Every structure is written in structure tokens, then in C-alpha cells.
Amino acid sequence: MVNRVNANRIIPIEIADPFARKLVGRYLENRESDIEKLREALRHHDFDTIRVTGHNLFGSGSAYGLDEVSRIGARLEQAAIERGSKEICRLVAELADYLRNVDVH
């Protein structure tokens, strides 16, 4: 399984089981709402929402075999604790790029 962010390249994630593939696909689709939530929270300097969202991403990504989502989530959580707006902005863009380029099949 390859799931590391590659700038503007498709990131293939191969899952043999059709049910598991559907679950992972749905999980990834649901992360789009996290992107919007994170962007809105950043606009309002709502670091608590960013921290909690990052924590949830950290906890859930690896359960779906998406270690990159967990890695970004952990870094978002830490950046929110440190109130690092620039780092949060960069990480949200990184997460959005990953979601845009990941291909589950």
C-alpha cells in the first residue's frame, strides 16, 4: 500500500476486499467536511476545534490504513496547541492535497 503524499500525483491505495474498499472510500469522502471545518476554525482562530479535529484524524486514519491522515492529524493537533496558524494552514492544504490525489481501488 502506498499512501504518502506525492505533490500532484495520484496516490494509489489498493484494497482487495470490496467492503473494506467502500468503507475507506466513504471515510475519505467524509474528510472533506473536516477540511471545511478546519478552514473555518482557522479563520476564527478556533484552535480548540482544530486541535480536536486533528486529534480525531490522528486516531482514525491508521485504523483505515491511512497513516498519512494520522500523521497530518497529529501535526495539526500539535500546531493548534502551539497556535501555529501558518503551520495549520500548510497542514490543511497538505491534507486537502492528499484527499484530492488518493485513489482507492
CATH number of the domain that 56 lies in? Answer: 1.20.120.160
47-105: pLDDT as tens digits: 999 999 999 999 999 999 899 999 999 999 999 999 999 999 999 999 999 999 999 88
* Grid cell of 4 as nine digits: 504518502
With respect to residue 3, please indicate whether it lies within any of the assigned structural domains: no
With respect to residue 61, please indicate whether it lies within any of the assigned structural domains: yes
**How big is the chain by its Cα radius of gyration, in Å?**
13
Residue 21 sits in which domain range? Answer: 11-104
Judged on CB neighbours under 10 Å (0-12, 13-18, 19+), 29 is exposed
What pTM did the predictor assign?
Answer: 0.88
Amino acid at 86: K
* Grid cell of 76 as nine digits: 495539526
Total number of domains constituting the chain:
1
User: 11 φ, ψ to 5°?
Assistant: -110, 100
Helix (H, G, I), strand (E, B) or coil at 1: coil
With respect to residue 44, please indicate whether it lies within any of the assigned structural domains: yes
